[in-house]
Amino acid sequence: MPVALSLLAVRVRYGDRVALDRVTLAVHRGEVVGLLGPNGSGKSTTLAAAAGVIDPAEGTVAVDGLTRAADPAGYARRVGLVPQACALYDELSAADNLRFFARLYGFAGRELHRRVSRGLARVGLTDRAGHRVGTFSGGMKQRVNLAAALLHDPPVVLLDEPTAALDPGCRDALLADLARLRDDGHAVLISTHHPDEARQGCDRVVVLDRGRAVAAGRPGDVFACRPGGRAVLYGHLRTRPPKFLVRSLRQRLGPAVELGVTGNRLRLAADDGETLGRALGLVLAEGVEAESFRTPTGTLERVLRHGLAEVPSETPA
């Protein structure tokens, strides 16, 4: 499938702080790619740059080969953004919310009615069309939010932590919605804190840390269980963490996770990929800076120098 969204060496600054440091990735049509990382790692900034909400200081962002600078309106028509906070009006019904956004996209008359009806059906809320959004659960609101982002049939759909604060049932329903988008040929980029969501809903993942892409691959490869029933991940660190931090991390990780640090090398091992993913999130959140990660078979390469699409899982270390 062709590349729908591409970020090439994108750098974003907020004043003197570099929020994204030469991030490169590509998302194909019919593919769901997940952004993983702790708070402050650059996930929301990556999505904002992809949506055209912010302009990078360096690098190029393109949808179907079109940049926002070349055609702002054409770029906007190709992207649907689901923000972290629902962009809905509680006092309006689900249908009225979608009518409002459909008018902003320029639809009117029968076409507007068709888009709204299809949007509600797409997320399974046709029977709640006339109900006030303020009476909806968090999961239902997020599904109306998704319907609004899809009214104009964008090839690229961006979601910023859409499952935050959702119960497991609502989360699973939203992930099912994303699977249908993939099957329909959309390119989907989603940020999440939860490795289990990435394993369940994503074809590929990119791990961000302090604005840099530090690892990428298929979810099953990133947190793959190795012979002996253990999931193992190796990291090459920028600097050796202080001993007190390593001791603190071991205490917080508990006996279910092995953490070894030798010089600038790190080893994490756990009984399953989900536990390993949570351990990685804690290690990164505590300020341990990594240049790269790999599994014992070398499926993770260094920062995505050639784009996510060109990082094969079979490449040896």
Q: With 0.95 as the threshold, say if the pTM is over it.
A: no
Give the residue-averaged pLDDT of 13-23.
91
Name the nearest CA neighbour of 198 among 185, 217, 214, 182.
217
How far, in Å, CA of 12 to CA of 59, rounded? 9
Residue 130 structure tokens: 């006339």
Based on the domain organization, do 69 and 184 belong to the same domain? Answer: yes
Q: Is the domain of 103 the same as that of 189?
A: no
* 138 and 31, same domain (yes or no): no
- The most confident of the ranges 17-26, 92-101, 204-213, 276-285 is 92-101
How many distinct structural domains can be found in the chain?
Answer: 3
16-42 burial string, b = 16+ CB within 10 Å, else e?
A: eebbbbbbbbbbbbbbbbbbbbbebbb
Please say if the pLDDT value at position 110 is more than 80: yes
CATH label of the domain that carries residue 229: 3.30.70.1650
CA distances, 197 to each of 22, 36, 112, 178, 274 (Å):
26, 10, 34, 12, 9
Confidence (pLDDT) at 163: 82
162 in the same domain as 104: no
Q: What are the tokens at 83?
A: 């923000």
Of the candidates 133, 153, 173, which is a domain's last residue?
Answer: 153
Domain boundary among 115, 133, 153: 153
pLDDT digits (tens, 9 = 90+) for 45-60: 999 999 999 999 999 9
Q: Which of 80, 203, 105, 94 is nearest to 143 (CA)?
A: 94
Identify the domain containing residue 51 by its residue range: 1-78+155-216
Does 159 lie in the same domain as 149? no
State residue 308's pLDDT score: 30
Between CA 171 and CA 150 the distance in angstroms is 19
Within 8 A by CB and 6+ apart from 247, the residues are none
**Residue-wise pLDDT tens digits, 178-231:** 899 999 999 999 998 777 778 788 999 988 888 888 777 787 666 654 444 577
Residue 105 lies in a domain: yes
